[in-house]
Amino acid sequence: MPPRFSAYRDLIALSAPIAGIQFAQVALTSTDLLMMGLLGVQAVAAGGLAMLLYNQLRTMGVGMVTGVGNLVAAAAGRGEKRAGAAAGDDLARADVQALLRAALLVATLTGAAAALLLAGLSLLLPLLAQTPEVSVQARAVMLTLAPGLLPMLWLNVLRQFAVGMRRAGSLLRVTLLSIAVNGLLNAVFIYGWLGLPQLGLAGIGLSTTLVQVWTFLVYLRTVRRDPVLGPLVALDLWRADRGRVLTITRMGTPIALTYGSEAAITSIASLFMGSFGAVALAASNIVNQLAYIVYQVNIGLSQGASILVSRALGRGEAQAVAPVAWQALGLGMAIMTAVALLYALVPSVVLRPFLGAEADPAVTAMAATLLWFAVAHQYFKGSQNICVGLLRGLGNTKAGLNNTLVGYWLIGVPAMALCAYPLGLNGYGVWSGLCLGFGATSLLLWRRFLLDLHGLTGPAHDRTA
Work out how many domains the chain is built from and give that number: 1
pTM for this predicted structure: 0.74
Q: Which pLDDT tens digits describe the chain residue by residue (465 residues)?
A: 444 445 567 777 777 767 766 776 677 777 777 777 667 677 777 777 788 788 778 888 888 998 888 888 877 777 666 655 544 566 777 888 889 899 999 999 999 999 999 988 888 777 765 667 777 778 888 898 999 999 999 988 988 888 778 776 656 666 777 778 888 888 888 877 877 777 777 788 888 888 889 888 988 888 888 888 888 888 888 888 888 899 999 888 888 888 778 777 887 888 888 878 878 888 888 888 788 777 878 888 888 888 888 777 776 777 777 788 888 888 888 888 998 898 888 888 888 777 765 567 788 888 888 889 988 888 998 898 899 888 888 888 788 788 888 999 999 899 999 998 888 888 889 999 999 999 999 999 999 988 888 777 555 444 443
Q: Which of 296, 316, 326 is nearest to 449 (CA)?
A: 326
Q: With 0-12 CB in 10 A as exposed, 13-18 as middle and 19+ as buried, what is 207?
A: buried
**pLDDT tens-place string over residues 332-385:** 888 889 988 988 888 888 887 777 655 677 888 888 888 899 888 889 988 988
Within a domain: 460: no
For residue 7, give Cα distances in angstroms to 10, 50, 283, 314, 449. Answer: 5, 41, 41, 16, 19
pLDDT at 154: 93
For residue 100, give Cα distances in angstroms to 79, 133, 156, 375. Answer: 17, 44, 11, 38
Q: 436-445 as b/e, with b when 16 or more CB fall inside 10 Å?
A: bbbbbbbbbb
Within a domain: 427: yes
Within a domain: 267: yes
pLDDT at 444: 93
pLDDT at 103: 92
pLDDT at 394: 85
Within a domain: 10: yes
**pLDDT tens-place string over residues 97-107:** 889 899 999 99
Rounded Cα distance, 165 and 161, in Å: 6
pLDDT at 465: 39
Contact, 179 vs 27, CB < 8 A?
yes
pLDDT at 6: 53
User: What is the domain range of residue 271?
Assistant: 3-455
Residues 6+ apart with CB under 8 A from 264: 56, 408
Within a domain: 464: no
Within a domain: 246: yes
pLDDT at 460: 47
Within a domain: 450: yes
pLDDT at 150: 94
Rounded Cα distance, 372 and 61, in Å: 31
Contact, 421 vs 428, CB < 8 A?
no
For residue 240, give Cα distances in angstroms to 95, 243, 400. Answer: 12, 9, 28
Within a domain: 461: no
